[in-house]
Amino acid sequence: MSEFRWGLIGPGRIAHRFAQALSADFVGKLQAVASRNEARARQFASQYNCSTIYTQYENLYEAKDIDAIYIATPHNFHYEQIKAGLRAGKSVLCEKPLTVTSAQASELFTLAKKQGVFLMEAMWSLYLPAYQQVNEWIGQGQIGELKLVRSTFGYNTPKDPTDRLLNPELAGGVLLDMGVYCVATAQWLMQEQAQTISAIGQIGETGVDELTMANLGYSGQRFAQFTSNFHCQTENTLDIYGSEGRIHLPNMFWQPQQVTLIKQNSELTVRKPFAVNGFEYEIAEAEKCITQGMLESSVVTHQFTHNCLQTMESILQQVKE
């Protein structure tokens, strides 16, 4: 285990996965937990053998025994919490989406560079072993020229207007919560921002998007299509089509433990199990970058995150028209 020490803000559902992933023998440990709810902080810290809790985020930002902060609060809080952490000289790994707007992200990236500290959006899928296998196959030319990417991400979610997913004050909506995976994987595969965007969808009673469908165009006559929704369970798969074959990521494509290469006369499925739950790979990437004095990851770069946010802004603008 590395000696890296993490501070965590927002001990909610996703934070448990982060804390569990720290049991991997190649990443650091949870040093401190911060929450406005003291009981929640104490329970979380006790569950993961964490030595310190804070009820004021400022105390975590200023803590001398913290190497980096992981932020797991709802989307609308990210901007201010990241900014406070960066100003205190702390490196930050923040859950996706990094911010609600691309303008906020640009400001934070500028601040991170000024402060000389690391900042990364926690787009964990792209660091998983299965995605590294995808990258290897594409690099080897196994599917020929990349032509089309298709994905779906949808579940019939509870229609509670106070829930984070449907609450506009908490930056709710399906695109920022689920569709972000579809946008990010398409951009990662195409290695550029979408040049053309055509989107339709449905705005629910609370004013957030409950269904989004988009066609994205890229250079070289390449395209991506995706659907994300809160109304029904879809296949939740990702397919990457090339001129000579296809790569298939199965149900829950954002956390696959196997990947299949399909060609005209052959089919190969490769198992890529997690060491723990998958979060450990993005944690290891962040620790490596911070330890080496890097300000961003070479996979989820600042520009990558900014481009994804711009693409989602364009999609939402069209859906709300």
Q: What is the pLDDT of residues 93-128, one digit of tens each?
A: 999 999 999 999 999 999 999 999 999 999 999 999
Q: Is the peptide bond before 97 cis (omega within 30 degrees of 0)?
A: yes
The answer to whether the Cα torsion of 187, 193, 198, 201 is positive or negative is: positive
CATH for 112:
3.40.50.720
Compute the distance between CA of residue 183 and CA of residue 208 in angstroms, rounded to an integer. 18
In a domain, 107, yes or no: yes
Are both 263 and 133 inside the same structural domain? yes
Q: Is the pLDDT of residue 71 over 80?
A: yes
Among the options 90, 96, 114, 263, which is catalytic?
96
Strand (E) or helix (H) holding 218: strand 209-218
Whether the Cβ atoms of residue 154 and residue 228 lie closer than 8 Å to each other: yes
Q: What percent of the chain has pLDDT over 90?
A: 96
Tens digits of per-residue pLDDT, 53-66? 999 999 999 999 99
Structural domain including 135 reads 129-273
Are both 139 and 266 inside the same structural domain? yes
Q: Is the pLDDT of residue 315 over 70?
A: yes
Q: What is the mean pLDDT of residues 276-285?
A: 98
- For the whole model, what pTM was predicted? 0.96
In a domain, 154, yes or no: yes
In a domain, 310, yes or no: no
Q: Identify the pLDDT of residue 270.
A: 98
Are both 114 and 41 inside the same structural domain? yes
Are both 86 and 184 inside the same structural domain? no
In a domain, 199, yes or no: yes
Are both 245 and 284 inside the same structural domain? no
Are both 135 and 96 inside the same structural domain? no
Q: Identify the pLDDT of residue 162.
A: 86
Which of 159-163, 190-194, 232-236, 305-309 is predicted least confidently? 159-163
Q: Is the pLDDT of residue 1 over 80?
A: no
| Residue 214 backbone dihedrals phi, psi, to 5 degrees | -140, 145
- Check if 96 is active-site: yes
In a domain, 23, yes or no: yes
Are both 68 and 149 inside the same structural domain? no
CATH for 253:
3.30.360.10
Angle between helix 279-291 and 13-21 (nearest 10): 70
Are both 140 and 258 inside the same structural domain? yes
Amino acid making up residue 118: F
Are both 46 and 145 inside the same structural domain? no
Instruction: Count the domains in the chain.
Output: 2
In a domain, 313, yes or no: no
Q: Identify the pLDDT of residue 250.
A: 98
Helix, strand, coil percent values for the chain (each to nearest 5): 40, 25, 35
In a domain, 301, yes or no: no
Are both 135 and 117 inside the same structural domain? no
Are both 101 and 13 inside the same structural domain? yes
- Within 8 A by CB and 6+ apart from 205, the residues are 161
In a domain, 306, yes or no: no
Are both 165 and 246 inside the same structural domain? yes
